[in-house]
Amino acid sequence: MCLQSEVPGSAEVQTMRVYLRVRPFSKEELSDNEDQVQCVIESSQTVTLNAPKGSANMKSSEKGIGVSLHKFAFSQIFGPETTQSELFDLTVKSQTHDFLEGKNALIFSYGVTNAGKTYTIQGTPQDPGILPRVLDATFHYSEGRQYEGMDLKPYLRNDAQYLDPDQVKQERSAKAAIFASVKEVREVFLFVFFLVFFFLFFFSASNPTQADGSQFALWVSFFEIYNECVYDLLQPSLFSKSKKRAALRVCDDGAGNAYVKDLRWINIQNLREACKLLQYGNKNRSAAATKMNQSSSRSHSIFTMKLLKIDGHAVKWISEFSMCDLAGSERCNKTKTFGERLKEAGNINNSLLILGKCITALRNNQTDRTKSSYIPFRESKLTKLFQAVFCGKGKALMIVNINQCASTYDETLHVMKFSAVAKQVGLGTFWCERTQVIDSQALESYLSEEELLDEEDEADMSLLPQNELVNMIETLRTKLLAERRRNLVQEMEIRKEMGDAMLQQLMESEELRSRQIEDLKESYQEKLENTFEMYKDAIREHAYQSAMNNLEDDYVPLDEFIAEQEKVESSNVNTCSVLHSFLVQLILSLERRLMELSETLEKVRDSFLEKSADLEAQQRKTDDQVRPYTLMQRFGGSNVDLFYLFPL
């Protein structure tokens, strides 16, 4: 769930932009005489769907359940004749400008299988999609201002780290290894691919702002979520058939932002390198043939760009642009999947279902702020990674892709209903309220009964008597509540384990901090002693030089003294008096100097004592902070205590 509860004032809330793109019929579909869905684009923002015969929706409407005509509204609708360039200019161009100005953005394509999602995001070498056009605009914007070094690299979610020469050498070697493996692709394909991108580069319509002396570094990553496991698509080891791919962990930084640990980031300097990375990652992406798509993506792929604005050797800001190509939802009885493909389809549908739950919960929290709903961000890797964007740390944009085939009408209708809910979600942060306690009422609204039953199954159940239907609903409701309670108990156990692990981490951190304080105390003690000795030596040297200067100023040569003594023998008494007064003044001057030096030594000693007292106070404060956790570890704590001590 979102861990923020910011509530904007009177600022206008902007809803999520949701665009619809209708895919034209392919040659195979036209040759097979595929039945067409009556998809009527009434205006640039309104579309109507008529259920075809044989669909589950039409069967339900004929029995008096639901309707066969559905009307949906979008931010803008793009018909089959829309080109890739037009789609980019009217949807993503503004977000690209925000990305170049330091803001975060997220674009994800959503739709059923074989609806053109990957084509919209990546396109083809002859007709590039959104991703290569954003890369083109980025390099065109930073032309002549690229940071050539690779010693500044993104770290965690929003930070950057400096790399030493050995680390920079490792980065260059990893990059060279990837590009060397891409050379195996056909040179003709590469030539056409790069020719198109260089054409875009030199004839781009983007207008970069005036240079301000800053430089830019672009780092990219490419990974997929396959069967709820995160895999890096830019790892060279993926080409080894004998080695199993290593799954990466999704972790949280100190600010509550999710990131993929050990994910490889590659610094790119031009479009040619970007094209090679795309080819390399697509080659490693999980894909398989189904009845509805010969090359169906079996995973969610996320291509992320991080732009570092560098002023000298300081990073002014880091902006992030993520493009998520979601795998298409599908029904197994239509795609004829089984075995491994069936498991993949189940994980795909489950992650998309959780995404729908999050969108619905966000919409509900926005419309009724008096009743906060649980937002299950952490139930899926996909939603956990994009939780920060949905909570207001960036702008999200959805491109819904559909085809006009009657065989996928029911899935297309579900996609359209989901997009209608997503369009109502605001981009503010007031709907990301924190829910600390999950009560039975919140669990009741956590899942709706409509998500438990398929529309086709509901149509079949309508043939049963009403009493049996009521009894069946009550039975299912009882089982559902029991399952939810078991899940809540399991969540409590997980919270306890997390609490124990966090307590152990706190103890280790306390021990580490104690060692650091001791080392710091010893270091300060040594520095103070060295400073004290330096002051003593300086004082001795200064006193000696002052005395020598005074003696040189008042020194009288012996010859002159004897001559003068002979001249003033008669006034010997006066001369002795003068000499005596001079010696007295000299002694007084030396005594004053000695007092000043003593005061200086006293100030140095007082400063040393104050710093020692501060160190002891910090040690006592650290001990007081850790003592409660030490006592709780020694005497143990109840599940409830840990629940309130470490809320999600």
Residue 288 in this model has a pLDDT that exceeds 60 = no
Taking the C-alpha atoms of residue 37 and residue 41, their distance in angstroms, rounded to an integer, is: 12
Q: Is 291 annotated as a binding residue?
A: no
Q: How many residues does the chain have?
A: 648
pLDDT band, residue 603 (cuts 50/70/90): confident
Q: Which of 228-242, 310-324, 508-522, 623-637 has the highest mean pLDDT?
A: 310-324
Least confident interval from 69-73, 133-137, 285-289: 285-289
Q: What is the pLDDT of residues 246-259, one digit of tens each?
A: 889 988 876 778 88
The mean per-residue pLDDT over the stretch 224-244 comes to 75
Nearest to 322 by CA among 222, 419, 253: 222
Q: Is 112 annotated as a binding residue?
A: yes
Taking the C-alpha atoms of residue 75 and residue 45, their distance in angstroms, rounded to an integer, is: 6
Residue with tokens 């290894």: 177
Q: Is 111 annotated as a binding residue?
A: yes
Q: Is 113 annotated as a binding residue?
A: yes
Q: Measured over all CA atoms, what is the biggest interatomic distance in the chain, rounded to whole angstroms? A: 148
Residue 527 in this model has a pLDDT that exceeds 50 = yes
Q: Is 409 exposed, middle or buried (0-12, 13-18, 19+ CB in 10 A)?
A: buried
Q: What is the model's pLDDT at position 570?
A: 65
Least confident interval from 96-100, 193-197, 274-278: 193-197
Taking the C-alpha atoms of residue 445 and residue 542, their distance in angstroms, rounded to an integer, is: 82
Query: Which DSSP symbol is given to 49?
Result: E
Q: What is the pLDDT of residues 12-51, one digit of tens each?
A: 456 688 999 998 887 777 777 666 667 888 888 999 988 8
Q: What is the model's pLDDT at position 371?
A: 66
Taking the C-alpha atoms of residue 302 and residue 288, their distance in angstroms, rounded to an integer, is: 18
Nearest to 18 by CA among 45, 37, 40, 43: 45
Pairing state of beta strands 215-226 and 17-22?
unpaired
Nearest to 400 by CA among 120, 131, 132, 133: 120
Q: What is the model's pLDDT at position 106?
A: 92
Whether residue 135 contacts residue 271, with contact meaning beta carbons closer than 8 Å, is answered with: yes
Q: What is the model's pLDDT at position 302?
A: 93
